[in-house]
A and B are shown apart, each in its own frame.
Chain A
Amino acid sequence: MKFKTFATFVGPSVVMMILFIALPLISVFFESFKVTQPIMQQVEVETCTPGFTGQTCVTSVKTIPVIGDDGKVETVTQWQGLESYRSVLQMEKVWAAIGSGNWSDILQIDFWKALRFTMMFTLLTLPLVIGVGLLIALTVNNAAKSFKGPVIFISLLPFIITPVIGSLSIYWLFVGDGILTAMMERWTGTNISMFAQAWTIELLMYFYRVWHVAPFAFVIFYAGLQSVNMDTLESAVIDGASRLQRLRHVIIPHLMPLIVFIALIHLMDCYRVFEEIVGFRSQAHVISLQWLTYDFLVPDDAGNRAVSRASASAMLTMIGIVLLLIWPLRRTWKEHRGGAH
């Protein structure tokens, strides 16, 4: 391909990526080392609020921002080095917990609590998604031709649902006397509360994520199965290889690049787990790194938002993703180089 043709093809997406990914990332990077604060003053303010019989007026000293001549709140921005990272990571508490042997204390710190769940969520759902996806693909591949169309359609449905809507549906099905909880209660004869303790919530989250993402793995694997070398497969049959042996020695090696690809996408997606937390309202029991960033950013009633800590937590999330992706990326890279002529 000529360079000019190549540039015209790639140009628009490169521009978009710079505009919507690179630049925001750079600004978040700088934001995480800065802090912007309003200049505060202490003023005695008399506030009169209504009661039923009349007004109650209270004079109190309030800390309020200074409003400049232009009618805007005056702010001051300072470089503060790693301060935001320090207050997110709280390493001194981590070392103290390790020093005293109370490992579980580490999980009292929001970041580490979120990291524990995020990592577990990512690493537990990965093999499940690949396994279930492969199972569906093999089943569909072996199904009678007339069935294939409808079966593919139905298996794809979970993937089409918007994640937030999907997680809300699960919440409504299981919360309180939701349909499914009521059904389980009838079977077991005991009162079941799925959202009352951490482990049941986490279980629902794993289930939901696998249910939601497995169709994606299935489509990719199904496409891969169409190009399995039939000669090799037939010779394997002649050599007396069992179904399992064929799967292990012929099909899986053939699908390996796709497995790595799905692992790559899944790790990236899963590490940013967020919808389940919001949809399941699980903040009391389970939080994720992405939710932590969001929580820093949401303004409170008084309009404060912790932008610096949100930026630091976002950068830490990104570093986490990069670390996770090193293995699959290296593998793809090696294969790519090995395959190039």
Chain B
Amino acid sequence: MLKKLALAGVVSLMGTTAWSACAFENTVEVKSLSAGFEAWKAVTDAMAECGNVQAELDQEFRTKQPAAFEANPSLYHIGGVSNGTVTPLLNSGTIRPLDDLVAKYGGHLQPNQLIKIDGKVMAVAMMVNTQHLMYREDILSDLDIAVPTTWDEVYAAADKIKAAGVVDYPLGATMKSGWNLAQEFVNMYPGFGGALFNDDNTAAVNNDAGVKALETMKAGMPYMDPEVLVSDSTYVQQQFQQGKIAMANLWASRGGAMDDEAESTVVGKVKMAAAPLAMEGGAPATTLWWDGIVIAKNITDEEADAAFRVAMEGMDEEMVKANNDAAIWLVKGFQPGPLSEGAIATATASPAAPAYPSTSRMGLMHTVLGNEIPAFLTGDRDAAATLVAIEEAYTTSAKEAGVLK
């Protein structure tokens, strides 16, 4: 979900024979492929303590994983996935059910960590993630602004901050055209009560909620950096760290970086709140995500056994205690701190924000949204025409992918 430029992908290989903090000595070679953000680093480091573990952390993992797991034997034993990227693995049947392994080695797991598809455990989640409101508490209290709870309030607050001129831009946003921008729409549109699809898999965005979602996204642009269409999560994180913006609807997994004294000039000043509502009485305009592990199908049972044990070591209480603020962990032992307040408020809101609806058709829709919405934001096309273009482009893609007849 933290898609970066292909070239900036971080690959780090760690082969280690030390098994100091691991409960057992692993003798089977285990390889893992996951995203490269902080939480994965913590988990794979803990896995490596068991020995014979090679962890690859790569932000472009999602393009590699489906093909790598399809090979026989699979190129990796453990896959780090999110609810978005698990879909191709589930669809092609390249990951194995984990019920037996959970019964054998997963006694310490919390029941809500088990991701069940049709009753079978297919993945074990370790953390949740969501986009929620981050704000500079000092600026808001100086200007006597209450913490915004709806997008209208966010823009009203942004107006005051702009007038006060205390930061370069009142708002930051992950609106880089492509995946990030599409995600903003996927957050906003259900917030207005919209459903993306009809039952027959055809697109259903061309409606009132669609227009409102687009208009609300555009309404924020006067308060943002004019170059917002190139800004991704890392860019927004840096804008926060350098004190250039005052508010943003940003990933919870980026929260820890705000208090990183080596990078941040605003340590302790950024607070988290629930994702703003798009309309009164609606759900927070965001989606819920989880990150976790899967085990490849095309490996021997022995290897799967070892891989699962190693993964469990990586996701144990000890690791969470050492890295409490790296993520919003689902693992036992997690102490929710101030950094996780916003995410918890978002997830426990009533009505709660929906989980990201990952399916084949959603993948197609996401790409189409990312390609078609920029023309609206740059003013080349109005909202109605954009929604028509989205539906047309989706129909073309869905027909080619076999989702639509």
Measured between beta carbons, the chain A residues less than 8 angstroms from B360 are: 40, 63-65, 302-304
Report which residue of A47, A53, A304 has the largest number of chain B beta carbons within 10 angstroms of its beta carbon.
A304
Residues from 363 to 399 in B contacting A, C-beta threshold 8 Å: 363-364, 366-367, 371, 374-375, 377-378, 380-381, 385, 389, 396-397
Q: Which of B115, B344, B367, B389 contacts A50 (CB 8 A)?
A: B115
Closest to B401 in A: A304
Closest 6 CB pairs of A and B: A302-B363, A303-B88, A37-B402, A196-B226, A284-B374, A284-B177
**Quick check: is A175 within 8 A (CB to CB) of the other chain?**
yes
Q: Which of B93, B235, B396 contacts A71 (CB 8 A)?
A: B93
Query: What is the CA–CA distance of A282 and B230 in the complex, to the nearest angstrom?
Result: 7
Query: What residue in chain A is nearest B116 (Cβ atoms)?
Result: A48
C-alpha spacing A141/B331, complex, angstroms? 71
A45 touching B371 in the complex, CB below 8 Å, given contacts A193-B227, A303-B92: no
Query: Residue A295 at the B interface, CB < 8 A?
Result: yes
Contact of B66 among A35, A65, A284, A299 (CB under 8 A): A299
B57 adjacent to chain A (CB < 8 Å): no
Besides A72-B92, A195-B227, 5 other A-B contacts (C-beta < 8 A): A46-B117, A49-B125, A285-B378, A302-B91, A303-B66
- List A residues 34-52 near B (Cβ within 8 Å): 35, 37-40, 45-52
Contact with B along A297-309 (1 / 0, CB 8 A): 0111111101011
- Distance between Cα atoms of A48 and B229 in the complex (Å): 35
Chain A residues near B62 (CB-CB < 8 A):
299, 301
Number of chain A interface residues as a range: 35 or more
- Residue B201 at the chain A interface, CB threshold 8 Å: yes
Contacts of B90 in A (CB 8 A): 64
Q: Do A306 and B397 contact each other (CB < 8 Å), given the known contacts A54-B112, A63-B403, A72-B92?
A: yes
B355 CB contacts on chain A under 8 angstroms: 49, 56, 58
Q: Are A302 and B88 in contact (CB under 8 A)?
A: yes
Asked if A281 is at the interface (CB within 8 A of a chain B CB), the reply is: yes
Query: Is B111's CB within 8 Å of the partner chain A?
Result: yes
B84 touches A301 (CB 8 A): yes
Q: Which residues of B contact A53 (CB under 8 A)?
A: 348
Q: A47-B116, A283-B177, A304-B401 are in contact. Are A52 and B128 (CB under 8 A)?
A: yes
User: Any chain A CB within 8 A of the CB of B187?
Assistant: no
How far apart are A289's CB and chain B's nearest CB, in angstroms? 15
CB closest residue in chain A, given B363: A302
Say if the beta carbon of B114 comes within 8 Å of chain A.
Answer: yes
Tell me whether A176 is interfacial, beta carbon within 8 Å. yes
List of A residues within 8 angstroms of B135 by Cβ: none
- Chain B residues, CB < 8 A from A58: 355
A229: CB under 8 A from chain B?
Answer: no
Tell me the chain B residues, 88-139 only, with Cβ under 8 Å from chain A.
Answer: 88, 90-93, 111-119, 125, 128
In the complex, which residues 177-192 of chain B have their Cβ closer than 8 Å to any Cβ of chain A?
A: 177-178, 181
* Contact A281 B359, beta carbon cutoff 8 Å: no
Contact A63 B128 (CB under 8 A): no
B87 located at the interface, meaning its Cβ lies under 8 Å from any Cβ of chain A in the complex: yes
Tell yes or no: A57 within 8 A of B by CB.
Answer: yes
Contact with A along B340-356 (1 / 0, CB 8 A): 00001001100010010
Task: Check A241 for interface membership: any CB of B closer than 8 A.
Answer: no
Residues of B within 8 A of A168 (CB): 7
Given contacts A87-B396, A284-B177, A298 and B227 within 8 Å (CB-CB): no
**Bound complex: CA of A108 vs CA of B373, how far in Å?**
12
Confirm or deny: A73 has a beta carbon within 8 angstroms of a beta carbon on chain B. yes
Q: How far is the CA of A194 from the CA of B366 in the complex (A)?
A: 27
Interface pair A65/B91, CB less than 8 Å apart:
yes
A307 and chain B: residue at smallest CB distance: B400
Q: Is A188 an interface residue (CB 8 A)?
A: no
Tell me the minimal C-beta distance from B245 to chain A in angstroms.
11
Chain A residue numbers with a CB within 8 Å of B125 are 49-50
Q: Are B91 and A301 in contact (CB under 8 A)?
A: no
Inter-chain contact B361/A63, CB cutoff 8 Å: yes
